[in-house]
Amino acid sequence: MTLMAAPETHPGATTLTALVVDPNLDSRLEAVVAAKRAGIVVAAEAAYGAEATFLAVEREPSVILLSLEEPPMRGLATVEALHRQSPQIPVVVYSSQADPTFLRRAMRAGARDFLEKPMRADDLAEAVQSALAQERMRGEDAIEGREGRGGLGTIVTVAGAKGGIGKSTLAVNLAIALRQLTGQEVALVDADVQFGDVSVMLDIEPTPERCISYLGRGSMEVTRQAVAESVIPHSSGVDVLGVFPEPQDWRAVGPARIARIATALAETHEYVVVDTPGTINELVAASICEADIVLLVTSLEMSSIKDTKTAVRILQLLEVDAGRIRLVINDSTDATTVTPSDVAEATGLRVAQVIPHDKQLGRSVQRGVPILLEQPKGRFPQSVREVAGAIAGVATQQPRRGFRFR
Ligand SMILES: Nc1ncnc2c1ncn2[C@@H]1O[C@H](COP(=O)(O)OP(=O)(O)O)[C@@H](O)[C@H]1O
Ligand SMILES: [Mg+2]
């Protein structure tokens, strides 16, 4: 999918222009300098409010860079106004507050990406390219839908608002189940670039040259071949793009890269399963925007429901078509304070699958052998096979709950 190509594959194709919205003059100057370094022409500068919305209409910039600091109310109101008035111009927020609540509030207001200050020129360039690519894709989607992907494989992103709810366990076992069910090529991407544990679950060892961060380096072009050389084949037949635990490197993989990695793998694999971290950051947003199917995982705890409601709102802001979202309840904690129908009611989504609690899981995780291989008849493996069957459109042995995608 050329639409999501990383910036480096289209150097300077068209001139990018920006409107910089920042009430603080020093901070604004820094943003202007970063924009220029990133090859973006600053078309106008403004403080919050009407000045910004007026200039957005008058100058029609490719992108709006907007500063958000405490107290955020006026900034958020400006993001909302800009998003309402010119929804086709992506807003990229920058801030010295890297905290996730701040990020969520910005995204809820309509921001497309979030950068921490001081902004590095290449991060900014990547964020802008990614925001524009998402924008183009949105337009394209409206016309031709996801079928427009041509012969590409199906990208399944496993996401959720929290950690510890079984996303990685599901992603790993789902990839193996898809491989077993269909016999086709399956790739598994660990997009939890900071704390990813997919490799531990599969007992494989990524190296600095065979891991996801390798593909994030500025000099790396994310070609099909580069991706193929970075994956590690697991004995199950699944190709794994894992995380090498090297803290300096995790920032290198930006949203445009992750999207490109997923599509590059979808050129060679029928299924690409993407595991994500426990918050919806900009990388997760990109993985979600790129997905054909989003498995939104939640547990049966009160707090998880609250967070899943927030996640659903974020997905709406990202304009992820509800038809692509599948709510999966995973009873990972066995602390069933609420029922699946409570979750459905709270989130407004139909429950696609309930994965039961399975005590065998703890042991298999410790040994680095996925439960689907070790205890294939167990409750968790059976349930995961149903999910895989629904995704692949293949009937499993006991079709029970009508989990159908197509
Ligand atoms: N259905 C389940 N039954 C029992 N334990 C589970 C279940 N799903 C997940 N777990 C356990 O929950 C823990 C967290 O799972 P993990 O996949 O790492 O979550 P996440 O990726 O969302 O942070 C693991 O120890 C895993 O074995
Ligand atoms: Mg995880």
Specify the CATH number for the domain of residue 366: 3.40.50.300
Tell me the C-alpha distance between 120 and 103, whole Å.
18
Task: Output the average pLDDT for the chain.
Answer: 85
**What is the 276 CA–ligand 1 centroid distance (Å)?**
14
Q: Is residue 281 part of a domain?
A: yes
- Ligand 1 pocket mutation, candidates 299, 332, 364, 375, criterion most atoms within 8 A of CB: 332
- Domain stop point among 96, 120, 144: 144
- Domain stop point among 78, 110, 144: 144
Structural domains of the chain, count:
2
**What is the 277 CA–ligand 2 centroid distance (Å)?**
6
Asked if residue 384 and residue 313 are part of one domain, the reply reads yes
Where is pLDDT greater, at 13 or 3?
A: 13
CA end-to-end span of the chain = 22
Q: Is residue 405 part of a domain?
A: no
Asked if residue 78 and residue 156 are part of one domain, the reply reads no
Q: Is residue 26 part of a domain?
A: yes
Asked if residue 250 and residue 362 are part of one domain, the reply reads yes
Ligand number, closest to the Cα atom of 164 = 1
The one-letter code for the residue type at 167 is: K
Asked if residue 163 and residue 138 are part of one domain, the reply reads no
Asked if residue 195 and residue 158 are part of one domain, the reply reads yes
Structural domain including 264 reads: 149-392
Flag whether pLDDT at 192 surpasses 50: yes
Q: Is residue 398 part of a domain?
A: no
Asked if residue 156 and residue 57 are part of one domain, the reply reads no
Instruction: Determine the pLDDT at residue 129.
Output: 82
For 309-359, the pLDDT digits (tens) are 999 988 888 888 888 999 999 999 887 788 899 999 999 998 999 999 999
User: Contact at 8 Å (CB) between 297 and 347?
Assistant: no
Asked if residue 381 and residue 368 are part of one domain, the reply reads yes
Tell me the C-alpha distance between 56 and 51, whole Å.
9
Tell me the C-alpha distance between 279 and 213, whole Å.
19
Q: What are phi and psi of 249, to 5 degrees?
A: -90, -20
Ligand number, closest to the Cα atom of 162 = 1
Give me the sign of the Cα torsion angle 14, 15, 16, 17. negative
Asked if residue 140 and residue 153 are part of one domain, the reply reads no
- Domain stop point among 113, 144, 175: 144
Ligand number, closest to the Cα atom of 173 = 1
Q: Is 348 left (phi over 0), alpha (psi -120 to 50) or beta?
A: left
> How large is the average pLDDT for residues 291-307?
91
User: Contact at 8 Å (CB) between 157 and 288?
Assistant: yes
What is the pLDDT confidence band of residue 6, given thresholds at 50, 70 and 90?
very low
Tell me the C-alpha distance between 370 and 54, whole Å.
56
Tell me the C-alpha distance between 293 and 350, whole Å.
15
Asked if residue 320 and residue 185 are part of one domain, the reply reads yes
Q: Is residue 397 part of a domain?
A: no
The CATH number of whichever domain residue 61 belongs to comes to 3.40.50.2300
Q: What are phi and psi of 150, to 5 degrees?
A: 65, -135
Asked if residue 350 and residue 292 are part of one domain, the reply reads yes
**What is the 164 CA–ligand 1 centroid distance (Å)?**
6
**Would you call the peptide bond into 340 cis, given omega within 30 degrees of 0 as the criterion?**
no
Pocket of ligand 1 (CB under 6 A): 160, 163-169, 278, 330-332, 355, 357-358, 361-362, 365, 380
User: Contact at 8 Å (CB) between 314 and 107?
Assistant: yes
